[in-house]
Amino acid sequence: MGRQVPIVDYLVLDDGPPHLVAGRCRGCGALYFDRRNGCARCFGTDFERVPLATEGTVRSFTIVHRAAPGVPVPYASAIVGLDGGGLVKANVVHTPADPEHVGLGMRVRLTTFPAGHDREGTEAVAFGFEPA
């Protein structure tokens, strides 16, 4: 099996089961997935890296039917509230992308799927959520 890289650096593939990590502000506890100059809430600059839960609840979703060229449709995009804290946007996968199968308040768990290869054969791995 070839080399794998996460599609974004807040997805961890090489430390136990795949999971997300966030930068948590030591001042106020706000969570961020991106590289930060400071905390938008309390202006602090001290962050610690914390693992997030892999299960959560769908707080919102849409079924995308018109997308950029090359993006397969339809697909479900959702905002998931992770147990214990953290909001994240991702696709809902492993279930039909329609409002009968994807719903508000639905319980989901993190899963991964291949997102593509580069010319050196490295595979990018993305994360999504499947019905729990």
Report the interface residues with Zn ion, using CB under 5 A.
Answer: 25, 27-28, 30, 39, 41-42, 44
Q: Which does 44 bind (CB under 5 to 8 A by kind): another protein, Zn ion, none?
A: Zn ion
Q: Which residue's entry shows tokens 């090359």?
A: 70
Give the gyration radius of the chain's Cα atoms.
16
- Does residue 68 touch another protein according to CB under 8 A? yes
Angle, CA 114 vertex, CA 66 and CA 102 arms, to 5°:
50
Distance CA 17, CA 12 (A): 8
CB of 33 to another protein, least distance (A): 6
Cβ nearer to Zn ion, comparing 18 with 44: 44
- Does residue 47 touch another protein according to CB under 8 A? no
Q: Is the dihedral of CA 91, 97, 103, 106 positive or negative?
A: negative
Q: Which residue's entry shows tokens 């959702």?
A: 78
Residues 17-36 that bind another protein (CB under 8 A): 30-35
Among 24, 47, 82, 88, the residue binding another protein under the rule CB under 8 A is 88
Among 77, 95, 111, 112, the residue binding another protein under the rule CB under 8 A is 77
Distance CA 17, CA 117 (A): 22
Q: Which residue's entry shows tokens 């697909």?
A: 75
Residues that bind another protein (CB under 8 A): 5-10, 30-35, 40-41, 58-72, 74-75, 77-79, 87-91, 99, 104-105, 115-120, 122, 124, 126-128
